[in-house]
Chains A and B, each alone.
Chain A
Amino acid sequence: MPKTEVKIIGFLCNWCSYAGADMAGTARMKQPASLRAVRLPCTGRVNPLLVLKAFREGADGVLVSGCHPGDCHYNEGNYYARRRLEVLERMLPALGIDPARFRYTWVSASEGAKWADVVNEFTQQVKQVI
C-alpha cells in the first residue's frame, strides 16, 4: 500500500529554485503539502551528510534543487553540488536507502510550473517506494 502522507525535505538555493517555488506559489500552482523547504545560498552549500542526516531523522524523501548548470549565481557552485550529489545518489543503495527517495534537479527562478511538476512527481515517486 503506498503511503498517503509523506514528508520531503527540500534543499533549495535562494537564487533559482527557492524563487521558482515562490513563483509557483504566486501563480497558485497546487502542490501536495509534502515538501518542507530549507533555504540555502547555493546547492554548493549542501553537504551530502546533510542529506543523509535528513534521511536518518526520518525524511521520506530529500530533494535538492538549484540553478541550471551554467546559471549558478556563484558561477560554479552547482557544478560542485552535481558531483557531490551524483556520488551520493550512487552510494544510497549501499546505505540501505532506496535512491528513488532522493532527487536533485535544476529549476530556475522563472520556472514556477516546472517546480510544481517536480514536487508533484517526486512526491508520487516517494509514495510509491515508502
Chain B
Amino acid sequence: MIGVFVCQCGTNIAATVSTDRVVQAAKSMLGVVHAESIQYTCSDPGQRAIIDAIQQKGLTRVVMAGCSPRMHEITFRRAIGRAGMNPFMLEMVNIREQCSWIHSGIDETTEKAIDLVRKGVARVRRQKPLQPGSSPVARRALVIGAGVAGIQAALDIADAGIPVTLVEKSPTIGGNMARLDKTFPTLDCSSCILTPRMVEVKQHENIKLMVNSEVEKVRGYIGNFEIDIRKKASCVIEEKCTGCLICQEKCPSKAPDDFNACAGESKAISIPFPQAVPLVASLRKEYCRLFISGKCSVCQKVCPADAIDYGQEDTVVTEKFGAVVVATGFGLYDWKQSYPTYGMGMYPDVINALKYERLLSASGPTGGHIERPSDGKEPRDIVFISCIGSRDESVGRPQCCSIGCMYMAKQAILTKEHIPDSQSYIFYIDVRAAGKGYDEFARRAQTDFGAIYIRGRVGKIYPRGGKLVVMGTDTLAGDQVEIEADLVVLATGLTPAEGAGGLARRLNISTDGQGFMAEGHPKLKPVETNTGGVFLAGACQGPKDIPASVAQAGAAAAKVIGLLSREEIETSPMVAEVNQLKCTGCFKCRDVCPYGAIENQDAMGGQVAHVIASLCQGCGLCNVACPPGVISLKGYTDNQLIAEVVEVLR
C-alpha cells in the first residue's frame, strides 16, 4: 500500500517537471494505491494532506518526490510518524536539486522524474520498519581553540552546568582578538572586552582549561567521543609558576615574538602578554640555549617558585565527551610569494595589518607609539592596500575576507589619533561595510579623519630615498597614482588556522575549497557539521568578525547544551545485521569495519559474526566484503539497491 506524493514546490519543481504526468505514471507502478501532487508538501497543509491520505487509504509506505533528502527527510519522517506509520517506511525522491533545477526541457526532465519515482517506489517496497536504538550521552563538552569564539562557547556551555574542557594549542587563551588594539565600529578597547572573559574562563568551576595542548586522536561518535589530548611539555610547572616574569627578564636566548606578529622580540622562556591566561611562563625548546648547546639553566636558577622542570615530558590525557565545538579561528594569508611586485618581504616597512595592530596597541612592543620597522621613525604617509590574497582570482583566492574594509577604516582612524598630522591612503576595490553601524564608521574615516580612499589596485611598490613608492591606479579618476609612503599596511586575506586541516580529518569533518570547515547546511545548519555531535564556531568555518563569531559560538553552545541535556540519544537504525544462520565465520566483515563494531559470537554451533549496533555507523563496508552476502545494511540492502538499478533502467 504505497502512496506517492509529488511536490510542486511552488514553481521550483512544477516549472520544469509536469507533476501531473509524474502522478499519472506513479499510479500504474506496482504497489501504488495513491498518488497526488501537492503545491508545497512541507507546509502545514501539505503535511496534513499526506497524513490524511495515509489514514484514509491505509498507506503503509510513502514515496515523497520533492527536494533532496538532505533537506527534508527528517521533516517527512516525522510527518508519517504522526500518522502512525513507522517513520522509516519513507523514500525521498530528489526531483528538485538533482532534476528540476538542473534541466530545462520539460519532457526530458519529467521523464527523468518518473524514472526516479519508479526507483523510489521499488526501493520503498523492499523497506522494512526500523526501530532507532539509543545510546548514553557523556555529559562533558570539548571546545577546541580558545579565541573569542571558543571562550564564548565554553562559558555558555559551562554556565548551563555542563563540564567543559577547553583546549588551546598556544600558551595563552585569547586568540587573535587578544592581539587587537581596538575593535570596529565602536573603537572599544579589545582587551578591555576580552580579558574579563578570559579570567572568567580560568575561574569557572565547570571549565577545565588546557593550554599548550592539541587534540591528537578522536574515537567514537555523537554522545560518546573518546578523545586523546596531548599536553606539550613547556618546562614550567603550571601550578607553581606565579607569573613574576623574572625568568623572561634574565633569559639570554632571543626568540621571535609570535604574539606581537613578530613586531618585537621575545625570549625563549616567556609569557606572551601581560594579561595572558593562565599567567604562566612557557619555554620554547627550539630557541633555548640549554636545549641547543647544553649550557644555560639561568631560568631555573632565578625562578623564585622553583617552577622550572627541564625534564618535563608531553602528557596524553584521554577523556570522554558527548559533544565537540571546533573554534580554531583563522590565520593570515602569506602574501610574500604571490605578490612579487610588493617586494616579497624584502622591504621591512611593508607589513600586514596584524603587525600594524600591534604597533598601535599600548601593550605592543612599542608601547603604542607607531614606529616603522626599518628605522623606528614615526611615519607620516601611510598606505593601506585591501584585498591581498582575497577577492583575487589571480592567486586562487576568490573569497572576501569580510573584515578588511572595516579594520582598514579603523586603523586609519587610530593612525590619525596617534599622529595628528599623518595622512592615510586606502586602496580599495569596494568598501564592504554591511554590518550594524559599519558604513557610518567607514565613512567617518573619510569625513572626520581625512583618510583618502582610492578605488583601485596597487601594481608595484619600490623603495626610493628612505620612502616606499606605491604605484597604483585610481579607477574612478581613470588615472595612475603614485604615493610616497613611509609605511605600507596590507589587508591580507584570512586562511584557516595552521593545523586546522589535520584536525578536521581527525574529527572527520569536511572542509571547503579554501580549507575552512564545512557547515552541515549553508542556511539551516550553520553551526552543525556532517558529523553528529561536532559543531563549529567562529572563523574556522569561514572569515567573520567578532560579533558574528560570538553569535555563532552562542549558537554552537546552545546545540551542545541541547544535546547534552539528554541522558540518551537516538541512534540511526540503519546499521548492519548478520544472518547468523548463513554466516561462515570468515570475519572479513570484522576486518574491514572501521569502528570495531563486529565481534565474534558463539552461536549456531560455532563462531559467527555479530554486529554491536551501538558502535555501527552504517557505512556498509561489511556488506560488500561478506563473501556469502549474509551481512546486510538495513535500509540499503542488496535487494533495495538492485531494485533501484533495475527499475530506473526499465
Contacts and interface: CB of A to CB of B under 8 A. Distances in A.
A121 interface: no
Contacts of A108: 510
Nearest to B71: A22
A71 B618 CA distance: 17
A107 B625 CA distance: 24
B648 interface: yes
Contacts of A70: 505
A19 B648 CA distance: 21
B103 A33 contact: yes
A76 B644 CA distance: 26
Contact of A44 (B68, B505, B574, B620): B620
Nearest to B111: A33
A110 B101 CA distance: 18
B508 interface: yes
Contacts of B625: 80
Nearest to A10: B98
A73 B530 contact: yes
Interface in B160-185: none
A38 interface: yes
B592 interface: yes
Given A29-B102, A30-B104, A109 B644 contact: no
A84 B633 CA distance: 19
Contacts of A39: 69, 94
Contacts of B511: 71, 110
Contacts of A41: 574, 618-620, 633, 636
B97 A44 contact: no
Contact of A110 (B70, B518, B531, B620): B518
B375 to A, nearest CB: 46
A25 to B, nearest CB: 3
B620 to A, nearest CB: 3
Interface residues of A, number: 51
Interface in B592-650: 592, 594, 617-621, 623-625, 633, 636, 638, 641-642, 644-646, 648-649
B513 interface: yes
Interface of B: 68-71, 94, 96-99, 101-105, 108-109, 111-112, 115-116, 119, 505, 508, 510-513, 518, 530-531, 574, 592, 594, 617-621, 623-625, 633, 636, 638, 641-642, 644-646, 648-649
Given A29-B102, A75-B594, 19 more contacts: A7-B648, A9-B648, A15-B530, A22-B97, A22-B98, A30-B102, A33-B109, A36-B115, A41-B618, A42-B619, A45-B621, A45-B633, A47-B623, A59-B645, A59-B649, A71-B505, A109-B530, A110-B518, A116-B102
Closest 6 CB pairs of A and B: A25-B97, A45-B620, A74-B619, A110-B512, A22-B97, A33-B108
